[in-house]
Structure 1
Amino acid sequence: MRLLVRSVGGLLLTAGVLYLGYLVDRTDFHSLFTAVAAAFLGYLLIVWRPVATPLRYWIGLGIVLRVLLVFAFPQLSDDVYRFIWDGKLVAAGHNPFAQLPAYYLEAGHSVAGLNQALFNRLNSPDYHTIYPPVAQAVFTLAAWLSPNSWYGAAVVMKTVLLLAELGSVVLLYRLLGTFGLPPDRVLYYWLNPLIIVEIVGNLHFEGMMVCFLLLSLYLLTKSRYGGAAGAMAVSIASKLLPLMLLPFLLGRLWRRSFWVFFGVLGVATGLLFLPLLLGSGFIEGFGGSLDLYFRTFEFNASVYYLLRAYGYYELGWNQIARFGPLLAQVAAGLIFIVALADRRTDWRSLPGLWLAAFIIYLLCATTVHPWYLAVPIALCGFTRWRFPLLWSFLIMLTYVSYTVIPYQENLLVVAVEYGLVAGCYVWERQTAKKERPARGADLQM
């Protein structure tokens, strides 16, 4: 019976993922969310209890689904067009941070492949790019291998992310073994529909960040501090977010190889960013984009939306320019306080602390897209917490915002999302207090 239930789960997961990868219309929320619900029901049937079927079968299913999505052009995100734009710029010898996209449509500034058709598909043409050097390198590889086809460029980038995902599943499996945790927890990440659809399916480089973050953690557990630092540098150069996790390494490395790790990290990060730093405009363009991100963009936020409502009540207009940077500072301060309060030096407790840091960041963020949950989903398997898995389902409700153009958020949906996630967290915390205390990472947060 259990095998039958999981087989049905596999079919539901497959059907939902393939529909979201190939057939979905982002403006048709009813069919979109029906597919999401089917995929997550299948996921739940597979991971709810220890897997009776050999684990390799389910890992194989995750590989097959990702391989199939390599050949589907992104359906739920238009970020791919900026990736192609940036890749063509770098391939032609230009710094993607130096000028706004409209500059290359002017007479005398043209670059092969950067035309009005591609420009019209950019979702933020009035802003400098915000993607770090590892992501830019993948964009450039795609532009070089497929200079005349958007689809071909997307396939190249998806193939790279597929390789990163394969690295992640191997590292998750090994880390679970290192920490003495059930190996089937690898499926929390590996078969999660959000992960499959958003990373390989919709081309989000959180997959690259997760892979090298896990590699860094694995190498730390093996006392290979130089390699761990190099992997952390690549993770940072894929997405900047792992920077906020570094305070949790200070105490753990102080009596080990503090200077080796942070010395190699500094050099490796500098070398990765060096090609962009050598060109003009990187500091102004990249720094300006980060500043605008915190002061301008808002989507699916929690604490910020409460402050925004207060701002409207207080002054009568949106005060994101005030509250966005303030919340970023609050998040940084809280993360640093949590890191300073931690006195442990073991590696098993680290994933739980990193999970706490990411949750703090997301609660203080002005923008929370579904793929931002990639790291919490990857880390929760090392802890007792499962609310990130519920969140990975509920956050897909935010696609209701795209049923109209331009998109318009339904704040009731946002309230339901965060209310249920908060309720799940409280329930898990109360349950933890009643049970016999476990050791290490299972008590984090």
Structure 2
Amino acid sequence: MDLKFLKLYKFPVLLALSCLAFYFSFGYGLERSDFPRLILLYTALCFLSYKLVNMLKADLRLLIGFAVLFRLIFLFALPNLSQDYFRFIWDGRLVAEGWNPYQYIPDKLINLENFSIAQSKELVMGMGNLSAGHFSNYPPLNQLIFTIAGWISSSSILGSVIIFRIIIILADLGTLFFGRKLLKSMGLPEHQIFWYILNPFIIIEMTGNLHFESVMVFFLIWSLYLLHQRKWFWSAVIFGLSISVKLLPLLFLPLLFKYFNRSKEQLGLRKLIIYYLVCILTGIISFLPFYSAEVVSNFLGSIGLWFGKFEFNASIYYLVRWIGFQVKGYNIIETAGKILPIISIIVILGLSFFRRFQSTKQLITNMLFAVTAYLLLSTTVHPWYLAIPLILSVFTEFKYILIWSAVIMLSYYAYSNPEYQENMWLVAIEYIALIGFMIYEFYKGKSQVSA
């Protein structure tokens, strides 16, 4: 750095150096159980990152440089807020050795005489009883990423983590590339992409804790950019790849109905049907290497567990559960877990057929509303689930997801005690902050909402 640069950018550089120190502390010195330190570090990073983006709106190259540096600081750190990466490594090594991860439960497979993969006991212990007792629920393109690590680093956990991290960083750079292009083509400020790229939530949960929502988001934004450019066939292929990383983008398919049949630049019903077919066929093809009737049953069963058995950091569901205890005297998750997804579908269909879709911005806004409704009605909302609504909010006037990404880390309180008990006051603070800001934004911009 020369003196002229330091003189011109001394304050942003100071902020960036502070961020680097905090990210280093987050990645290499933080225990998940140390909730006060976690929240203090995260709060400081949110404030510093907000200041950085606001100060450097006109110097995107510097923001890009900081975004890469902040991610690289985690390169050699083992994830400290999530143990999911043990299952990722396990699945990858299974596929690399010719085993089907959808066909075997780790707890049972590890006891077979003819089974042998490196560090198998360490991986099963690391992933925890919940993961070790169920079939894999990660879609095929995710499994491909796991397998790449299994081939390249078959006996080193850190080596596998580094490979995962490099892939996630490349995906974020891809999101940055296509996100800027989409913003520019929509007539929106390009710096808005950094509300996602430089968000500490994304850097910590994706690069730090190795959640592959980053790869899903990359394919989704690439697909939306192609769709905006009217390259609908390739958009469908890329959309299918996004689904093959994580299933969540399936929620958005109904929203394309009116977008394809809008009055301006009408694409038409025929192209919409082809789009759906290509998208779904892409996903099906990705499943073929693993296919069997047993595998389909196991995979769907694992997915179903999230709706009928697990509960974490929920909002509406927790209110329903409380009412259930008052009326029935027991946890009604099995019933609520079946009804709430149906309500989500009804909301999404309502958005699909009763709102306007005259532009890509309106499509993305409705996608944001759809995934928000889905999450508010879910029984389980882990922090990394916010990746899709956060990236979608970048292309809209609504910023309530930024507030949610700041307060959702309160959910990590559950890991600060041996019983993994949530603090309902903290959950309430999270959702009061979110819903309060949502109401404020809807009231302030109701003319935009009804447009």
Query: What range is the shorter-chain TM-score in?
Result: over 0.9
The equivalent of 1:385 in structure 2 is 398
2:272 to 258, 264, 269: 258
Structure 2 unpaired stretches of 5+: 1-6
1:121-141 deviations in whole A, cap 9, x for unaligned?
Answer: 123211111100011011111
| 106, 115, 126: which one aligns with 2:111 | 106
Does the residue aligned with 2:82 lie in a helix, a strand or coil?
coil
What are the ranges of 5 or more consecutive residues in structure 1 without an aligned counterpart?
none
Contact kept, 8 Å, 1:295 with 1:320, in 2: the verdict is: yes
Name the counterpart of 1:138. Answer: 145
- 2:189 maps to a residue whose letter is P
C-alpha deviation, 1:11, in angstroms: 3.4
Between 295-304 and 379-388, report the one with greater CA deviation.
Answer: 379-388
CA distance in 2: counterparts of 1:213 and 1:79, whole angstroms: 23
The 1-side partners of 2:385 and 2:273 are apart by 31
Query: Does 2:45 match 1:31?
Result: no
Question: Residue 127 of structure 1: which of 134, 142, 147 is its match?
Answer: 134
Measured after TM superposition, the shift of residue 45 of structure 1 is: 1.3
Task: Percent identity, please.
Answer: 35
Q: How many Å separate the matches in 1 of 2:35 and 2:48?
A: 20
Q: 1:293, CA displacement in angstroms?
A: 1.2
Structure 2: distance between partners of 1:147 and 1:32 = 32
Whether contact under 8 Å (1:13, 1:40) holds in the other structure is no
Deviations 1:275-295 (A, max 9, x none): 121x46311211111111111
- Going from structure 1 to structure 2, the CA distance change for 1:102 and 1:46 (only over 3 Å counts) comes to same
1:247-287 CA-partner distances (Å, limit 9, x unpaired): 1111222441223322321321211111121x463112111
Q: Compared with structure 1, are the counterparts of its residues 388 and 4 closer, same or farther at alpha carbon in structure 2 (3 Å cutoff)?
A: farther
Question: Which of the numbers 433, 439, 442 marks the counterpart of 1:429?
Answer: 442
Post-superposition offset of 1:109? 4.2
**1:94 Cα deviation after fit:** 1.3
The residue type paired with residue 74 of structure 2 is L
Residue 285 of structure 2, aligned match among 268, 271, 293: 271
Q: What is the TM-score of this pair, normalised by structure 2? A: 0.92
Q: Report if aligned partners of 2:220, 2:242 keep a CA contact under 8 Å in 1.
A: yes
Give the TM-score, by structure 1 length.
0.94
- 1:402 lines up with 2:415 in the alignment: yes
Aligned to 2:357: 344
- Superposed CA deviations along residues 313-341 of structure 1, whole A, max 9, x for unmatched, are 11221111111121111111111111111
Amino acid paired to 1:23: G
- Is the deviation greater in 238-247 or in 313-322? 313-322
Q: How many residues of Structure 1 are paired with residues of Structure 2 in the alignment?
A: 436
Tell me by how many angstroms 1:367 deviates.
0.7
Structure 2 distance, partners of 1:90, 1:167, is: 27
Q: 1:112 to 1:344 in 2, by over 3 A?
A: closer
Deviation, structure 1 residue 163 = 1.1
| Partners of 2:223 and 2:234 within 8 A in 1 | yes
Equivalents in 2 of 1:383, 1:4: separation in Å?
A: 32
Distance 1:301 1:332 in 2: 18
Query: 2:314 touches 2:376 (CA, 8 Å); kept in 1?
Result: yes
Q: In the alignment, does 2:259 pair up with 1:246?
A: no
Conservation of the 8 A alpha-carbon contact between 1:230 and 1:265: yes
1:169 aligned partner, one-letter code: L
Q: Residues 224 and 444 of structure 1: is their aligned pair in 2 closer, same or farther, counting only changes over 3 Å?
A: farther
Measured after TM superposition, the shift of residue 17 of structure 1 is 2.2
CA offsets 1:100-139 (integer angstroms, 9 cap, x no match): 1122222424132263222111232111111000110111
Question: Aligned-pair RMSD on alpha carbons?
Answer: 1.9
Query: Does the 8 Å contact 2:371/2:389 carry over to 1?
Result: yes
Q: Map residues 282-301 of structure 1 onto 2, 5 A cutoff.
A: 282-301=295-314
Q: What CA distance in whole angstroms lies between the structure 1 residues aligned with 2:237 and 2:69?
A: 30
